Amino acid sequence: MVGKICGTGSYVPPHVMDNDDLAKIVDTSDEWIRERTGIGKRHIIEEETTSYMAGQAALRAVEQSGIDPSEIELIIAATSSSDVVFPCAACEVQKTIGAVHAAGYDMNAACTGFVLAFNTAQAYISAGIYKTVLVIGADSMSNLVDWNDRGTCILFGDGAGAVLLRAEEGTPVYMAAHSDGGKGQALTLQSRHRKDWDKESGEESYIYMDGQAVFKFAVRKVPEIIEEVLEKAEMSLEQIDYFVLHQANRRIIEAAAKRLKTDITKFPMNLEEYANTSAATVPILLDEMNREGSLKRGQKIMLAGFGAGLTWAASLFEW
């Protein structure tokens, strides 16, 4: 059995900060941000929380599927910015959508989280353990960045995306995942409870990133893992309809397409509108593609994520 996507949903906060707004806070410009990243704006939470966004995305996915929430057996929420340590975001989502029979837990692999959660759900389904699984990626990066650091604050936004999987007979899902803890210092966050951390240690806790190291890692590892999954599936690049990559930087996606010698039109992007929403980028993009009618049954979709850890993962499935 494989987990077929029977519903997608997403939520981004209505409050928008464009590049000109950022230029009033840090020494940057719309021109620099667009040229180096492709980002034009980001949606930022005001009253919303990570769990709230996750719940709204989940409600939309469940509504589209037509499946009764009581049939959902498992909820996995990929997030590194849950509002509280516990209860986990997945249990908050359970409450919001009324998935009374579901088990729920969170997974944290930063920006790679959604692809790993998706693969985990597929493994449960193919093992016959669960039939109906909700997978969410949700993050409030605006709570984690230093708004005085122009090297990071321009990159991120807030949002959530969800997919509902239902067991069906079908083409297997092929997947791969890797980590390199030895290079973990390239992208770190000491604590998501910034104020408490400050009191204890006197240090500030924000996202620290060696941007160039992460850039080089992504450009090398994303094409590698895509090739690895294709080899497992005994398929060629030409057979893939869409490569849905983590939306961190347009230049990373363009470089990956170039290395794979694949037309950039097969690499959809929405980071101009939302920036990098960490674990939420892939499911938000999938939801947009689904709702605008770009996805047709039988198409082959390759997901690929990368981020802190360092971690990277990919998944190939038939829509």
Q: Which residues are catalytic?
A: 111, 246, 276
The answer to whether 217 touches 276, Cβ cutoff 8 Å, is no
By the rule CB under 6 A, 307 interacts with ligand UT7: yes
Tell me which stretch binds ligand UT7 (CB under 6 A): 9-17, 128-136, 149-157, 177-185: 149-157
By the rule CB under 6 A, 208 interacts with ligand UT7: no
By the rule CB under 6 A, 108 interacts with ligand UT7: no
Angstrom distances, CA of residue 89 to CA of 7, 53, 135, 163: 20, 10, 12, 15
Burial of 181 (0-12, 13-18, 19+ CB in 10 A): exposed
By the rule CB under 6 A, 215 interacts with ligand UT7: yes
Count of residues engaged in binding ligand UT7, rule: CB under 6 A: 19
300-307 vs 311-318, strand pairing mode:
antiparallel
Query: Binding residue for ligand UT7 (CB under 6 A) from 28, 79, 120, 143?
Result: 28
111 or 233: CB nearest ligand UT7? 111
Q: Residue length, the chain?
A: 319
The answer to whether 102 touches 94, Cβ cutoff 8 Å, is yes
226 or 248: CB nearest ligand UT7? 248
116 or 218: CB nearest ligand UT7? 218
x/- map, 223-262, ligand UT7, by CB under 6 A = -------------------------xx-------------
By the rule CB under 6 A, 98 interacts with ligand UT7: no
**Beta carbon of residue 97, minimum distance to ligand UT7 (angstroms, whole number):** 28
Best CA proximity match to 139, nearest among 190, 59, 78: 78
By the rule CB under 6 A, 207 interacts with ligand UT7: no
Q: What is the DSSP letter of 105?
A: E
Please enumerate in sequence order all residues whose Cβ is within 8 A of that of 26, keeping only pairs 6 or more positions apart, or say none: 147, 148, 149, 150, 153, 154
Query: Binding residue for ligand UT7 (CB under 6 A) from 151, 190, 294, 319?
Result: 151
Query: Binding residue for ligand UT7 (CB under 6 A) from 111, 116, 173, 229?
Result: 111
> How many other CB atoms sit within 10 Å of the CB of residue 231?
12
Alpha-carbon torsion 291, 19, 158, 81, what sign? positive
By the rule CB under 6 A, 154 interacts with ligand UT7: yes
The answer to whether 243 touches 208, Cβ cutoff 8 Å, is no
155 or 163: CB nearest ligand UT7? 155
Contacts with ligand UT7 by CB under 6 A lie at 28, 32-33, 36-37, 111, 150-151, 154, 209, 211-212, 214-215, 218, 248-249, 276, 307
